[in-house]
């Protein structure tokens, strides 16, 4: 569940650290920090936030396409016109707020998670652990993925929103790739995309538990899987065994 925005100075918004990463990695992290202020959420109060939370909950339970302003109003116990007073653009505007809000939340979690990393190895592991944890513990992330993926086929999102969300996805892929490159692994972009996809579908190969030891084990497994992708030889060509000729 999302909570109201509280204006405060977060330590992870500062790039002042006792460690320096490569120029490429630092530049991408700076892009990520800058992205947090690209959309104005100052008008999101408790009523708007309640609408956004219920919308995401219903979309997760019934599917995005099944949500109408009437069904949303019924769940909130208010009439549809009341929702339009907060979101004049209707479902499309609510969807944009949800996607941008969730995108910002994920970016904030990344910056907070990598704050204590002291080298590129630690940075990689922190990034993977956070990605896996966010996917397993916050269903809104999976719903974000579902809506963005569905739009690749249906093209129902406004072009500007679609471009922004794809740009955000590419930002995280570029971050994975830049770190992998600094760690000395070839085909860094290809492997970054593979790890990104693997973590996005973490719910299919891992379960989240309230037990802290189980959580630690789950995140360790995620790191191990990602390291397996990094060390894989993607240039290897499978050998084809030809049947021996009869009488040879």
Supply the Cα-derived Rg of the chain in whole angstroms: 21
Do the Cβ atoms of 48 and 66 come closer than 8 Å? no
How many residues would you count in the chain? 248
Q: Could you give the CA distance from residue 7 to residue 75 in angstroms, rounded to a whole number?
A: 30
pLDDT band for 17, please (50, 70, 90 cuts): low
pLDDT for position 72: 94
Question: What pTM, to 2 d.p., does this model score?
Answer: 0.84
So what's the pLDDT on residue 248?
Answer: 46
Q: What is the pLDDT of residues 118-171, one digit of tens each?
A: 999 999 999 999 999 999 999 889 889 988 988 888 898 899 999 999 999 999
Rounded to whole angstroms, the Cα distance separating 212 from 217 reads 9
pLDDT value of residue 2:
56
Query: Does position 229 have pLDDT exceeding 90, yes or no?
Result: yes
22-47 per-position pLDDT tens digit: 999 999 999 999 999 888 888 888 89
Q: How confident is the model at residue 61 (pLDDT cuts 50, 70, 90)?
A: confident
**Rounded alpha-carbon distances, angstroms, from residue 178 to 21, 26, 121, 143, 204:** 10, 10, 12, 27, 27
Q: How many CB atoms lie within 10 A of CB 4?
A: 10
Taken in order of first residue, the domains within the chain and their CATH numbers are 21-38+96-231 (1.10.357.10)
Query: What gap in Å lies between CA 103 and CA 168, rounded to an integer?
Result: 8
Residue 146: what pLDDT? Answer: 87
Evaluate whether 138 touches 56 at the Cβ level (below 8 Å).
Answer: no
Name every residue whose Cβ is closer than 8 Å to that of residue 24 and which is 6 or more positions away in sequence. Answer: 178, 181, 182
Q: Is the pLDDT of residue 236 over 50?
A: no
Residue 13 is classified by DSSP as G
Q: Give the pLDDT score at 187.
A: 96
């Amino acid at each position: 569940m999302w909570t109201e925005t509280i204006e405060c100075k977060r330590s992870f918004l500062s790039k002042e650290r006792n460690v320096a990463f490569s120029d490429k990695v630092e530049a991408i992290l700076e892009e990520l920090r800058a992205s947090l202020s690209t959309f104005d959420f100052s008008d999101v109060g408790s009523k708007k936030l309640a609408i956004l939370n219920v919308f995401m909950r219903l979309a997760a339970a019934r599917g995005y396409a099944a949500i109408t302003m009437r069904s949303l109003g019924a769940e909130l116990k208010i009439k549809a016109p009341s929702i339009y007073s907060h979101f004049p653009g209707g479902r499309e505007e609510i969807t944009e707020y949800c996607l941008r809000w969730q995108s910002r939340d994920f970016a904030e979690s990344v910056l907070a998670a990598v704050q204590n990393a002291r080298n590129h190895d630690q940075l990689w592991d922190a990034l993977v652990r956070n990605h896996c944890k966010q996917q397993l513990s916050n269903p809104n992330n999976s719903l974000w993925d579902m809506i963005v993926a569905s739009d690749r086929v249906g093209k129902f999102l406004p072009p500007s929103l679609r471009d922004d969300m794809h740009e955000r996805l590419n930002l995280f892929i570029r971050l994975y790739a830049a770190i992998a490159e600094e760690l000395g692994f070839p085909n860094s972009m290809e492997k970054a995309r593979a790890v990104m996809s693997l973590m996005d579908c973490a719910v299919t190969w891992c379960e989240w538990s309230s037990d802290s030891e189980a959580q630690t084990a789950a995140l360790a497994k995620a790191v191990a899987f990602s390291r397996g992708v990094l060390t894989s030889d993607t240039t290897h060509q499978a050998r084809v065994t030809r049947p021996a000729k009869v009488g040879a």
